[in-house]
Chains A and B, each alone.
Chain A
Amino acid sequence: MRHKLLSNHNPVGYLYSLPWILNFVIFILFPMGMSLFYSFTDFDLLSSPKWIGLDNFVRMFTRDKYYMLAVKTTLHYVVWAVPVRLITALLIATLLSGKHKLVSIYRTAMYIPSIIGNSVAMAITWRYLFGYDGAVNQLLMSLGLLTDKIGWITNPKFAAGTLIILSGWQFGSAMLIFLAGIKNIPGTYYEAAIVDGANPVQRYLHITLPMLSPVILYNVIMGIISAFMIFTQCMLITGGGPMRLTTYYNYYLYQQAFVNFDMGYASAMAWVMLVVIAAITALIFKFSGKWVYYEAEG
């Protein structure tokens, strides 16, 4: 037994994995440990960190009203942006899963926003498209859908929505993942259901959705994590405003660290965020047993 274990172990493997092991230790583990340490200190980068215990965390939840605002607005963004993007992606993937000649052209057009949507150029474009004198207002007014111009970026009622629309516009990569999932469902399942007299809606609800549920779970988790990280868009399009309503968590953290040079406080914020995201992910996994269907291996 011992001999077998040894013969299966080739230390050369470490050599090949070394780049990643170094990366993980130097750029992930070590910074994480350091930021945990900094989160208990007052640290402005120039003088040495001063231990202040739990004060950063106390400040977050009791004295810093902007912090709680950032938490609220970020949760609002996540709760809207993730479903808007994923439901759009799922609906369109369902529509495009049939065989039509033009499908690949549609798919290409709809996927382009995912490729360039996170660039600075597109954020700036969005700022002008949704500007007061921008194309969106002009289009809606010429179609008669709007009588007065809307301040999409400056009006507190609409600014967050404008960023959510931008996120929804980039539904392409989630759509591609859904499409691949739908194509992987064996055709025999549908044939059997047709023999049993199931209509298209029943087939969708009882075959497509359950078979797709692991892919949906994956997209939900990745979607939530990336929505929490929104940064470029709120910095460049809304500048965090109006009335700090789009100063999302990550942007506020950046301001604390690199505008106020409050590195300790920013580190504490980062750790709270990590715990929250980990808790949300764990909860989703815990309850995923109820709706995610895994095919038995074999």
Chain B
Amino acid sequence: MAKRARLRSVAFHAFCILVSLISIYPILWLFKSSLTESSKMFLQTAQLFPDHWEFSNYVKGWKGIGGISFAIFFKNTIFITVLHTIGILASSSLVAYGITRIKFRGQKLVFSSMIVSMLLPAQVTMVSSYILFYKIGWVNTYLPLIVPGWLGSPFHIFLLMQFCRSLPKQLDEAATIDGCNSFGIFTRIILPLMGPALVTAGIFAFYFSWNDFMGPLLYLSQARTFPLSMALRLFADPESVTDWGAMFSMQFLSIIPCLLVFFIFQKRIVEGIQTTGLKG
């Protein structure tokens, strides 16, 4: 009996290790390739340790494409991501507070409109949103990538609402008796308490913006204004890429912030997925 249990435990761990390895293999492979000499890239490509670590790939890769350094692409990405994330947090927390703490007519309608938007496939609005932005002259600016976020995003509002609901109503009542108005309650009581949920929502906003490809593809056409997603695609163009090592080094560099955020905030991310996922 004990022997069977032991065998089962070994089988369990062997299977889990195998699946874990498959899960992280592509990332380890990208890391290895970013440090492999271009001429030897596809010789022993499956193994995860090169004979020689070619750190100069990163120096060459950083120089970028067509004279535009990756410093610029990183700067563009950070600019878009930071503005987009701040906007989403500011507006979504305001809306989440309003819907959960204040009673008003049409509240349910506002809530349903969020659920519908979450389910709506993005391409339904893609073409006419583009036409709208084109007509008001926002194409080739960052505005289409940033401004909608400043008006709240249903996913983030929903996540913050779940958190707001868990805060006791007595807080609001006590503050009202002390003469605080609803905006005061929001800024002085609810917002500070929302801290952990804001971090979670911010992480999701960061991931969306950092990795967004469709948005920049539609709205940006000048290489100088490209965020990383577009620059990496240009860098990896199958017809022109020759320096594989340099190309892979920048691909890997671009996911480092995502991995760092993941390892620092892992617990928050897991909780966030589970609360929005379960109660959606």
Residues of A bordering B, CB below 8 Å:
8-17, 19-24, 26-28, 30-32, 34-35, 38, 45, 92, 95-96, 100, 102-103, 105-113, 115-116, 118-122, 124-129, 131, 133-136, 138-139, 142, 169, 172-173, 176-177, 179-181, 184, 215, 218-219, 221-222, 225, 228-229, 231-232, 236, 250, 253-254, 257-258, 263, 266-267, 270-271, 273-274, 277, 281
Contacts and interface: CB of A to CB of B under 8 A. Distances in A.
Given A129-B29, A271-B124, A111 B129 contact: no
User: Of residues A16, A21, A113, A173, which shows the largest number of chain B Cβ atoms within 10 Å of its Cβ?
Assistant: A16
B114 interface: yes
A14 B251 contact: no
- Identify the interface centre among A118, A120, A127: most chain B CB within 10 Å of its CB: A120
Given A112-B27, A179-B274, A258-B130, 17 more contacts: A16-B94, A16-B182, A19-B91, A21-B110, A24-B117, A26-B151, A27-B148, A31-B129, A32-B124, A34-B132, A106-B16, A116-B255, A124-B251, A173-B277, A215-B278, A236-B233, A263-B127
Contact of A115 (B30, B104, B207): B207
Interface stretch (B57-65, B78-86, B192-200, B211-219): B211-219
Nearest to B9: A100
A231 B251 CA distance: 19
Contacts of A277: 121
A27 B147 CA distance: 10
Contacts of B126: 253-254, 257, 270
Nearest to A98: B12
Contacts of A228: 121
Nearest to B236: A124
Nearest to A27: B148
Interface in B125-170: 125-132, 134, 148, 150-154, 157
B252 interface: yes
A253 B123 contact: yes
Query: Which residue, A20, A45, A134, has most C-beta atoms of chain B within 10 A?
Result: A20
Interface string B207-236: 100110110001000000000111011001
Given A121-B251, A126-B26, A169-B23, A177 B274 contact: yes
Contact of B277 (A134, A177, A270): A177
A233 to B, nearest CB: 10
Interface of B: 12-13, 15-17, 19-24, 26-27, 29-30, 33, 42, 44-46, 91, 94-95, 97-99, 102-107, 110, 113-114, 117, 119-132, 134, 148, 150-154, 157, 182, 186, 207, 210-211, 213-214, 218, 228-230, 232-233, 236, 238, 247-248, 251-252, 254-255, 258-259, 262, 266, 269-270, 273-274, 277-278, 280
A28 B125 contact: yes
B26 A115 contact: no
Contacts of B134: 45
Contacts of A138: 44-46
Contacts of B207: 115
Contacts of B277: 173, 176-177, 180, 215, 218-219
Contacts of A139: 46
A104 B150 CA distance: 36
Given A27-B125, A32-B124, A108 B266 contact: yes
B35 to A, nearest CB: 14
A12 B182 contact: yes
B113 A232 contact: no
B255 to A, nearest CB: 5
Contacts of A225: 119, 121
A219 B273 CA distance: 12
A177 B275 CA distance: 8
17 contacts: A9-B103, A10-B104, A13-B99, A19-B152, A20-B151, A23-B148, A45-B134, A92-B19, A106-B16, A112-B24, A116-B255, A124-B251, A169-B23, A172-B23, A218-B277, A263-B131, A267-B127
A274 B29 contact: no
Given A14-B104, A20-B95, A133-B42, A102 B121 contact: no
B117 A116 contact: no
Contacts of A127: 236, 238
Contacts of B238: 127
Contacts of A136: 46
B45 A133 contact: yes
A257 B130 contact: yes
A11 B124 contact: no
Nearest to B275: A180
A37 B83 CA distance: 33
Contact of A17 (B16, B24, B95): B95
B229 A119 contact: yes
Contacts of B252: 121
